[in-house]
């Protein structure tokens, strides 16, 4: 028997009991022309703006106007060390030590930098293993890195849905496993801990793309012994379009100056950074900071600082607990109203999914998507027939999910001509 009910008062009751409900008021909710809040289920693509972002960006604009270059050291939050303000909250979010994390660049830039350091083909161990249907940018990065290293992607790139089986059978050929912690298309959460352990036993290095995992599921990168990880911060981390990305390098690598890397002046020892031409050699700063290249973009980092403070306040365990219940409630409505014409691509097991359900619509998918939009639903459509729906625990309510379910029922009535 389901723990859920279709009655509106039931959804209202869940919201009344929700200890995280207060955070909804901390975000700007997109609204329809009549002022009603839209049903925003697209946080897996772009998270909503926290209320404190404008104030945080304005503070840096004010320091720029007031102090100009002196704000690097004399501002309210000095720019020279600004990125360090993000280090500890970001490390808490992904289960890392503070020295293992740095916020910098964009996700694919960080991935290329990590591949420079950690894809080191030797003899027959020259292959990169990825999950099937990985995010296209990851595939492009891997293909071009393979060519750069003189490898043929047709033979040196393995993409498979069963990562464990391939590792067991061909682990001695694989130099690197690059895994999307949560698959962007299906919403499947991989068992990152077990896959990492198996890969390391087979002599492979392991990197994770956490674009759809950071701020969505619980992570313990240090304890899992992952070699590196990269993630964006504009999805579940609510830091704005194209926001600065994150990077993790395990301390067994991060503290070694001899790990191959591309260098830039912001990754250099801060004591030598402004000696300029007096210090010709690159001396990487210990920790993940040593992979930085350029000045941190302060105006783009200010929103991340605000967003990470909300994660510290709410706590990932509480967010994850609400997420599991929200998604289960969404699954209830699919089972109730659309079981014969929607195939849920995302696993049903709670530990194998995060915020997102990927819905393969077996009949009139585009028409359903347009119908949902007319009912105030903001989701996204992936050709040819998949709608991704992601109730986010920070700002989505149980009543939002109830309203989505009612929109599905309205579609049933519309198709039936009643």
Same domain, 239 and 357: no
Nearest one of 379, 391, 237, 376 to 326, comparing CA atoms = 391
Same domain, 59 and 44: no
Same domain, 60 and 152: yes
Nearest one of 238, 234, 229, 225 to 198, comparing CA atoms = 225
Residue 39 maps to a domain: yes
Token couple for 327: 């998604």
Q: What is the mean pLDDT of residues 14-32?
A: 98
Q: What is the pLDDT of residue 418?
A: 66
Q: Which domain holds residue 108?
A: 55-313
Q: What is the mean pLDDT of residues 406-416?
A: 94
Same domain, 201 and 292: yes
* Other Cβ atoms closer than 10 A to 290: 26
131 forms beta bridges with 160
For 233-268, how does the pLDDT look when each residue is reduced to its tens digit (9 = 90+)?
Answer: 999 999 999 999 999 999 999 999 999 999 998 999
Same domain, 101 and 155: yes
Q: What is the pLDDT of residue 1?
A: 44
Q: What percent of the chain has pLDDT over 70?
A: 99
Same domain, 324 and 301: no
Residue 26 maps to a domain: yes
Nearest one of 220, 25, 260 to 119, comparing CA atoms = 260
Say how far apart CA 330 and CA 396 lie, in whole Å: 12
Q: 0.75 cut: is pTM over it?
A: yes
- Asked if the model's pLDDT at residue 140 lies above 50, the reply is yes
Q: What is the pLDDT of residue 278?
A: 79
Q: What is the mean pLDDT of residues 169-195?
A: 97
Residue 2 maps to a domain: no
- Average pLDDT of the chain to the nearest whole number: 96
Same domain, 72 and 131: yes
Token couple for 418: 């009643």
Q: What is the mean pLDDT of residues 10-37?
A: 97
Same domain, 198 and 327: no
* Other Cβ atoms closer than 10 A to 182: 28
For 54-95, how does the pLDDT look when each residue is reduced to its tens digit (9 = 90+)?
Answer: 999 999 999 999 999 999 999 999 999 999 999 999 999 999
Domain CATH number, residue 345: 3.90.1150.10
- Asked if the model's pLDDT at residue 269 lies above 90, the reply is no
Same domain, 157 and 28: no
């Amino acid at each position: 028997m389901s723990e859920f009910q279709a009655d509106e008062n039931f959804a209202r009751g869940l919201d009344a009991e929700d200890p995280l409900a207060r955070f909804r008021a901390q975000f700007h909710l997109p609204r329809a022309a009549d002022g009603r809040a839209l049903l925003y289920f697209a946080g897996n693509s772009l998270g909503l703006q926290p209320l404190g972002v404008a104030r945080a960006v304005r503070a840096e604009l004010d320091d720029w106007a007031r102090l100009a270059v002196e704000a690097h050291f004399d501002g309210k939050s000095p720019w020279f060390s600004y990125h360090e303000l993000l280090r500890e909250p970001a490390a808490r979010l992904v289960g890392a030590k503070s020295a293992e994390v740095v916020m910098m660049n964009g996700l694919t830039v960080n991935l290329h930098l990590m591949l420079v350091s950690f894809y080191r083909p030797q003899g027959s161990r020259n292959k990169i293993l990825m999950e099937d249907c990985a995010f296209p940018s990851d595939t492009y990065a891997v293909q071009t890195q393979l060519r750069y290293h003189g490898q043929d992607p047709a033979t040196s790139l393995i993409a498979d849905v069963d990562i464990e089986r391939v590792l067991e059978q061909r682990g001695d050929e694989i130099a690197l496993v690059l895994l999307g912690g949560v698959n962007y298309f299906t919403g499947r959460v991989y068992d990152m801990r077990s896959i990492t352990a198996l890969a390391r036993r087979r002599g492979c290095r392991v990197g994770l793309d956490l674009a759809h995992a950071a701020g969505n599921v619980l992570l313990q990168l240090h304890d899992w012994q992952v070699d590196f990880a990269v993630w964006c911060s504009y999805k579940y981390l609510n830091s704005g379009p194209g926001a600065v990305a994150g990077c993790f390098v395990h301390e067994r690598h991060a503290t070694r100056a001899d790990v191959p890397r591309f260098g830039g002046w912001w990754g250099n020892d801060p004591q030598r950074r402004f000696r300029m031409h007096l210090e010709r050699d690159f001396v990487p700063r210990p920790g993940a900071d040593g992979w930085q290249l350029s000045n941190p973009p302060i105006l783009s980092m200010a929103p991340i600082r605000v967003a990470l403070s909300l994660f510290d306040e709410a706590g990932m365990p509480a967010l994850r607990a609400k997420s599991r219940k929200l998604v289960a409630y969404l699954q209830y409505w699919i089972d109730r109203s659309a079981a014969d014409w929607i195939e849920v691509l995302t696993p049903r097991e709670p530990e194998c999914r995060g915020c997102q359900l990927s819905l393969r619509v077996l009949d009139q998918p585009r028409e359903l998507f347009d119908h949902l939009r007319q009912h105030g639903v903001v989701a996204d459509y992936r050709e040819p027939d998949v709608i991704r729906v992601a109730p986010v625990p920070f700002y989505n309510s149980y009543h939002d999910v109830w309203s989505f379910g009612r929109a599905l029922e309205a579609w049933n009535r519309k198709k039936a001509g009643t």
